[in-house]
Structure 1
Amino acid sequence: MSMEAKLLKSICDRSRPIRIMHICGTHERTISRYGLRNVLPKEIEILSGPGCPVCVTPVEDIDIAIALARSGIIITSYGDMLRVPGSSMNLMEARSEGCDIRTVYSIDDAITIAKEHPSRDVVFFAIGFETTAPTNAATLLRKPPKNFSLLTSHRLIPPALLHLLDETNIDAFIAPGHVCAITGIQPYQQFADLGFPIVSAGFEANDVLLSILMLLEQSRLGRPIVENAYPSVVRRKGNLKAQEMMASVFDVADAQWRGLGTIKNSGLKLKNEFADHDAVLVHENVIRSYKKETSYERINVDKCRCADILKGKEEPDHCPLFGTDCTPVTPIGSCMVSQEGMCYNWYQYRNV
């Protein structure tokens, strides 16, 4: 009997009604790819939370990036970001109009572009959770070229989970292994203190199943704690050097999340000493002019259910746009863009 089969049998033997939310796009990919929802007992519900960084990047940040590109600035970002809807278009559509928008695989690629074009301003559209922020912090600490700046759209996971407790019926959490590799599991102790079992998990099918089994056992015992089911990568205190770099470059700030609204202390902004590389400050005039003439309510996605999907309150196939108007080729909602998006994974693996 395989490890997965043994874990599944143990889960079935201990099954009880429980609503478990994961907060990681890679976890959703594993769950969808292997059809885990189809083989788990019906009383175990697996919800997908706001764990896809592309999905939660707000419309306003996309619009700002487009405004900067239209002013003649070179915009660089990851490939998925080019397809995320703004209020009237996405970055790929702006590129088709002649804007200089380039796909990069890392911030180092953006630095190379800045060095190759010293007479032009280059902006790196920096997205992601605690996982990617340290790399961007390290780059700024290395003193990048003067013509280089960051449009920062980093988000922090724990404040978003606290926000969801008031909106969604959740019994337990699977914490994101990639994020916990940086932060450790200590920041999630607050959820156990509030009565929610929580387990940091890896990304193979057996990792996810193990975390579900551990959560069921916590629930049975009535003793919620923070457990680490990914010890090969995650330490209780996390990566202290990465945390130190983040703290030296970024301040915590209130931040907007697509579909969730503004969440207190859920984002990162550059410290004042890095103002020369803060795109919002360096190109303040461009952004101020754009905001005067822009309404962020223009996007025509009235039927899109991405907001409820990101909150774990709705499933993709309940959206009237899913698989018809909205597909990975023609994404209307942000959840259909990235390989970490729930709609994308439900579409790709809908026959599993």
Structure 2
Amino acid sequence: MTSLTDIYHRALDGTPLTFAEAMALWNDAPLAELMAAADAVRRRLHPEERVTWQIDRNVNITNVCVSGCKFCSFHCRLADRERAYVTSMEEYRRKIREMLALGGEQLLLQGGLHPRLDLAWYEELFSALKSEFPNVKLHALGPPEIAHIARISGFGSDAEGYRTVLERLVTAGLDSLPGAGAEILDNEIRRRISPGKCSADTWLEVMRVAHRMGLCTSATMMYGHVERPEHRILHLLKIRDLQSLKSDSAPGFLSFIAWPYQGRGTALEEETGLSGGAETAEFLRMIAVSRLVLHNIPNIQASWLTTGLAAGQMALHGGANDMGSIMIEENVVSATGFEGRTTIDAERMQEAIRAAGFTPALRNQRYELL
């Protein structure tokens, strides 16, 4: 049996770990030792003593969604006329101007699976935003939304249809594709927590098409609900293996972001009794294992939103090299009644990075320093 020390050395050399080796890290490695190994890998990849961060704004296109995610209190049905909305162009203008005044340059556009917003509608939206704000980057939608748009727009549910949708959205102004809606890449788990959302196979297929097109993407995981540790490890391996298929010239997954499920007041909590939370030790183990397993994804984000800045700072010493965005606006986590901090300002972000012993470096979505 391979010892933990041997596994650490393999990871430090950039050798892809097996499922059994990754499970050994999760189950058996002492946390301090695991973080030290992940920190060594991080320093090999990022020897400079800096941590990147970003200014962008998360705008929800709509809260109407048919995916039925049991962990989400933000969405509503189209028939709920009191709550349902679609963001207006005037609201976009106001939000973008506020973002620009704070030094941001990117919109993270997330929406639900709206039954009536088809490809032509999104093309019109993206074109209008780019026409008025040509320098603003659109980091928008995600694989579930791309698959949904392809289906309701009559392009089918295959690679050719996904490519058609992505190509037309890029022409309209899409700059990069977030890794939204990954949750856990296991079909049984997805049927339990998000019955109307695309399968794990579809999520991966949309990303495979995006990588072949040369689109910049990210990968995510929401953990800490009904999945088991082996589901988390298999999720990481699926992302790593997809990344290995991209061409050398394609950016592929530039980053990986994992965060713990927050489910107070959700249907999933009512069904399972699981409210989620932000256990720091588990979060730090997740970050460290991610760094050791994802040898071909350069950036690991310390997602501080649901764990707190202190946990994010600790993660910077256990494999993470990025602190993500200041989150000018956040609605989905807040809808669960989460009482933690969901936004900070640029000064507080830089203070947190310096307090952790690093130099803050502002970046864009391609991890180019600004």
- The TM-score, its normalising length taken from structure 1, stands at 0.25
Larger Rg: 1
Q: Which has the higher strand share?
A: 1
